[in-house]
Amino acid sequence: DTAVSQTPKYLVTQMGNDKSIKCEQNLGHDTMYWYKQDSKKFLKIMFSYNNKELIINETVPNRFSPKSPDKAHLNLHINSLELGDSAVYFCASSQFSGGARETQYFGPGTRLLVL
Amino acid sequence: GNSVTQMEGPVTLSEEAFLTINCTYTATGYPSLFWYVQYPGEGLQLLLKATKADDKGSNKGFEATYRKETTSFHLEKGSVQVSDSAVYFCALSSRGGADGLTFGKGTHLIIQP
C-alpha cells in the first residue's frame, strides 16, 4: 500500500564512507525528487528526474549522485560523507499532466547521521 | 527567484482555539500553493492545495485561500485539537513544478489540552 517508500529509514555512518539511499514509488508517477531537510527543518530541493532524465540539479556537491534505473525508482548515492551531510533526506514523486506537475507525494524520510 | 515566508514558531495554543499561520510568497508567473504537515518523526503529508487565484483549499477543518493581490496563502482552522500538533510547511510550485517545491521554513504548532 505504501505509495513512496525509502530505505533505510535510519543510517549512521562514519565520515569518508560511501552510502546509498533507495526510493521507490508505486503511484505510476513520471517525476521523482530528492529533498534535504536540515536540523532546523528547512527543506530544499536537490534533484528532480522526469522519465529517468535529470531535470533539476540544484547547487549540490558532486559527491551526491542520483540514479534512476526506471521511472519507479530514484536512488541517491553519496560519496565521501561529511559531517554536514547529516540531515533527513526525503524522496517525492508527482505526475506531469496537462502542462503541469501535480501534487508531490513524499516518502517517510531517511535520517542520516555522519559521525 | 521563488521564495516563501511563513511565521516561525513555535506557536502554542490551547485546544479549541482559532488558528492562523501566515504565509506569503514571491514567484514568477502563476504558482500552485500548498500546505504540507509533518508529524513528529514522520514524512510530509499534503494538507491542502490551491492552483489558481481565489481558490480555497480545505481538508480536515483547515482552510487556505490563494490571494494573488496580497501574494498570500494563510492557513486557518476554527478549533484546533491536540492531534494537530505538528510542523506546517507552506510551499509553492511554479513552471509546472519543474523547479521542485519551494518551502517556507516551517511553523511548529503546539496545542495544549
- Residues B43-55 have pLDDT tens digits of 899 999 998 899 9
Handedness of CA A10, B104, B55, B99 (dihedral sign): negative
Q: Mean pLDDT per segment of 10 residues, for chain A of length 115 residues? A: 89 97 94 92 89 77 91 94 96 76 86 96
Mean pLDDT throughout B29-37? 90
Among candidates A45, A103, A106 on the partner chain, residue whose Cβ is nearest the Cβ of B43: A106
Mean pLDDT throughout B81-95? 92
Q: Residue B96: its pLDDT value, please?
A: 56
Put simply, the answer to whether A45 touches B102 (Cβ < 8 Å) is: yes
Q: Residue A56: its pLDDT value, please?
A: 73
Q: What is the DSSP string of B1-67?
A: --EEEE--S-EEEETT--EEE-EEEE-SS--EEEEEEE-TTS-EEEEEEE-STT-EEEETTEEEE-B
The mean pLDDT of chain B is 92
Q: Residue B42: its pLDDT value, please?
A: 86
Residue of B nearest to A57 (CA): B99
SS3 for chain A is CCCEEEECCEEEECCCCCEEEEEEECCCCCEEEEEEECCCCCEEEEEEEECCEEEEECCCCCCEEEEEEECCEEEEEECCCCHHHCEEEEEEEECEECCEECCCEECCCEEEEEC
- Residues B64-82 have pLDDT tens digits of 999 999 999 999 999 999 9
Q: Residue A99: its pLDDT value, please?
A: 54
Put simply, the answer to whether A56 touches B98 (Cβ < 8 Å) is: yes
Q: Residue A101: its pLDDT value, please?
A: 55
Mutation target to probe the A interface, by most A beta carbons within 10 A, among B32, B38, B42, B101 is: B101
SS3 for A80-95 is CCCHHHCEEEEEEEEC
Mean pLDDT throughout B81-109? 87
CB contact, 8 Å: A54 with chain B? no
CB contact, 8 Å: B61 with chain A? no
Rounded CA gap, A53 and A69, in Å?
10
C-alpha cell at A110: 531517511
Rounded CA gap, A66 and B43, in Å?
20
Rounded CA gap, A51 and B109, in Å?
37
Q: Residue B99: its pLDDT value, please?
A: 63
Among candidates A40, A42, A45 on the partner chain, residue whose Cβ is nearest the Cβ of B101: A45
The closest alpha carbon to A104, from A4, A14, A16, A8, belongs to A4
Residues in chain B closer than 8 A to A90 (CB atoms):
43-44
